[in-house]
Amino acid sequence: MEPIIDYPTLRVIWWGLLGVLLIGLAIMDGYAMGAMSLLPFAGKTDGERRALINSVAPTWEGNQVWLILGGGAIFAAWPFVYAVSFSGFYLAMFLVLAALILRPVAFKYRSKKPGTTWRRNWDWALFAGGFIPALVFGVAVGNVLSGAPFHLDSDLRTTYDGGTFMSLLRLFTPFTLLCGLTSVAMLVMQGAAFLAMKLEKGTAYDRVMTYGSVAALLTIVLFAIGYVFVRFSGLGFQVVAEVLPSGASNPTRAEVVPAAGAWLNNFGKHPWMWAGPALGFAGAALAALSLRLRLAFPAFLASSLSLAGIVSTVGLSMFPIILPSSVDSRSSLLVWTASSSHMTLGIMLLVTVVFLPIVLLYTAWVYKVLFGRVGVATVSSSPDYY
């Protein structure tokens, strides 16, 4: 019996689904990271900071499902990618994990004592729990675009070049830091847009709108600088050996070599792909305008579209490459050479079709139940708030 969906198509579908999960992570968990990155600056009094915290606290934890789904999808659909990235970038991921662990602890303990120093320290812990993951996720994307220093032997065992400490330092280069700052700017924009829908009008609200509009403009500038860097720095990789899309997964079947500006080749071959960067720029511009005009929902929608455009730009520019090797042309991971089996991808797709709509419907119901604005007077008068 012939399968309903052929192997090459399933591979592309899962490449697209991975992109959808990463976009969902950026939009849903991104607003919590961005909002907490704003906390020490937008909230000047204890009441204002409590209002900011309680705008995010009821929903941030549920948004971790996007992180779990993304990691699970990589593990199950792209095992080679999981093995290389989670081992080679181990210290960076541990840094993100530590920051994410710090965030719920800070939420719980921040208002347990009335002392100013106690609360200020936990506020900075919440800032770290938002800022560090936002920065490191962007740095990780920059390292993917730059190529990771790994190679596979004849038994497909992975070796990551460089020591553990040096491998962490290698993650931070001018280009990867640019990607990290772009990530911080766009998530702060997203956080401000979310807070625009949740905060009652007041001085903290006004500060959030100001910082958010500045972050949106910075997103445009940094995204444009990233394009210039890719265009003129010689950054890029391209496949030079023909790969059979329906062949068995074996990364050593492909040959991928560095090529100046190759990350822009797909946009020349498929002009429709320019919709990704266009959406990134236009969404950020509309978000900046909406925040200046105090239009909360349009700002959040425009910011979300900008994030979707920026994340999709990375994926579209790299296709069919998922993770290039900077040291071995025969070790790069492609859509056609690094996936799980046909049966595995088919079963996973069936499970996704059944359960992903349930997750989305439940999430929508939760946000409907928790709809409403948070004010300084409300959180200050009740001990039940963080």
- Which amino acid belongs to residue 348? M
Instruction: Reply yes or no on whether the pLDDT at 167 is more than 60.
Output: no
Instruction: Reply yes or no on whether the pLDDT at 313 is more than 70.
Output: yes
- Which amino acid belongs to residue 350? L
Q: How far is residue 39's CA from residue 124's CA, in Å, rounded to a whole number?
A: 8
CB 267 within 8 A of CB 321: no
Residue 158: strand pairing partners: 152
Band of pLDDT at residue 158, cut at 50, 70 and 90: confident
In tens, the pLDDT along 112-122 reads 888 889 989 99
Our measurement of the distance from residue 87's CA atom to the centroid of its chain's CA atoms, rounded to an integer in Å, reads 19
* β 237-239/256-258 pair status: antiparallel
Q: Between residues 155 and 366, which one has the greater pLDDT?
A: 366
Instruction: Reply yes or no on whether the pLDDT at 381 is more than 80.
Output: no
Q: How far is residue 226's CA from residue 19's CA, in Å, rounded to a whole number?
A: 20
Q: Quick one: 363 exposed, middle or buried, by C-beta within 10 A (0-12, 13-18, 19+)?
A: middle
Nearest to 42 by CA among 272, 179, 203: 203
Q: What's the pTM value of the predicted model, to 2 decimals?
A: 0.92
In tens, the pLDDT along 281-308 reads 999 999 999 999 999 999 999 999 999 9
Q: What is the mean pLDDT of residues 92-111?
A: 88
Tell me which of 20-29, 143-152, 377-386 is least confident. Answer: 377-386
Instruction: Reply yes or no on whether the pLDDT at 357 is more than 60.
Output: yes
Instruction: Give the model's pLDDT for residue 299.
Output: 96
Q: What is the mean pLDDT of residues 120-132?
A: 93
Instruction: Give the model's pLDDT for residue 41.
Output: 92
Which three-class secondary structure state does DSSP give residue 344?
Answer: helix
Q: How far is residue 159's CA from residue 113's CA, in Å, rounded to a whole number?
A: 49
Instruction: Reply yes or no on whether the pLDDT at 360 is more than 60.
Output: yes
Instruction: Give the model's pLDDT for residue 161.
Output: 73
Q: What is the mean pLDDT of residues 143-155?
A: 85
Q: What is the mean pLDDT of residues 145-171?
A: 74
Tell me which of 92-96, 98-102, 156-160, 380-384 is least confident. Answer: 380-384
In tens, the pLDDT along 264-278 reads 999 999 999 999 999
DSSP 240-283: -S---TTSPP-GGG--EEE-TTGGGHHHHH-GGGGHHHHHHHHH
Output the CA–CA distances (angstroms, integers) from residue 39 to 53, 110, 238, 245, 362, in the order listed: 8, 13, 42, 48, 28
Which three-class secondary structure state does DSSP give residue 160?
Answer: strand
Instruction: Give the model's pLDDT for residue 251.
Output: 83
Tokens read off for 198: 């949740």
- Which amino acid belongs to residue 63? N
Instruction: Give the model's pLDDT for residue 114.
Output: 84
Nearest to 356 by CA among 6, 69, 94: 69
Band of pLDDT at residue 233, cut at 50, 70 and 90: confident
Q: What is the mean pLDDT of residues 11-15?
A: 94
pLDDT over 90 for what percent of the chain? 50
Instruction: Give the model's pLDDT for residue 168.
Output: 61
